[in-house]
Amino acid sequence: MITCLGDVLRPEVGQATVRLLRQLGHEIAFPEDQTCCGQPMFNSGYADLARDQARYTIEVFRDPLPVIVPSGSCAAMIKHEYPHLLEGDSAWHARAEAIAARTSELSD
C-alpha cells in the first residue's frame, strides 16, 4: 500500500518498496483504487470521514493478501484505529480486524 503523502510527495518510496519486496522474492499486487488510510481525517477529528475511508480501504484490499505499508503511522491507522472506528458495526469490525491482522509496516 502506497500512502497518499508518499504517492504525492515521494513516489520513489513506493517504487523502492516494490523493488525491495521483489528482490526478497515476493510477488506484488497493487490495487490501483487505493488512496489514503484516512489518518488525516482521523487526526483532524473527522471520525465519520475516517470511518468512510476505512471502509473504502478495507474494500480495496479485500483480497486476503498481506498489506505492506512503508509508513508506520499509516500501518498503525489500519492496525489500531480501523477496528476502533468500526466497532459499532459487527460485519465491518470483523473486516477491520482481518485487515489489521495482515497489515505490516515495511520495516517489520
Tens digits of pLDDT across the chain (108 residues): 988 877 778 888 889 999 999 999 999 998 999 999 999 999 999 999 999 999 999 999 999 999 999 999 999 999 999 999 999 999 999 999 999 999 999 999
Contact between 106 and 69 (Cβ < 8 Å): yes
What's the grid cell of residue 103? 497489515
Q: What are the grid coordinates assigned to 29, written together?
A: 499486487
- Predicted confidence at residue 4, as pLDDT, reads 83
3-state SS, residue 69: strand
Q: Do 1 and 39 meet the contact criterion of CB atoms below 8 Å apart? A: no
Q: Looking at residue 3, what is its pLDDT?
A: 84
- Cβ atoms within 10 Å, residue 13: 17
**pLDDT in the model for residue 26:** 95
Residue 5 has what pLDDT? 79
What is residue 47's predicted lDDT score, i.e. its pLDDT?
Answer: 96
Q: What is the pLDDT of residue 10?
A: 83
Cα–Cα distance measured from residue 106 to residue 69, given in angstroms and rounded to the nearest whole number: 5
Q: What's the confidence (pLDDT) of residue 87?
A: 96
Residues 87-106 have pLDDT tens digits of 999 999 999 999 999 999 99
For the whole model, what pTM was predicted?
Answer: 0.92
What is the separation, in whole angstroms, between the first and last Cα of the chain?
14
Distance of CA 91 to the CA centre of its chain: 18
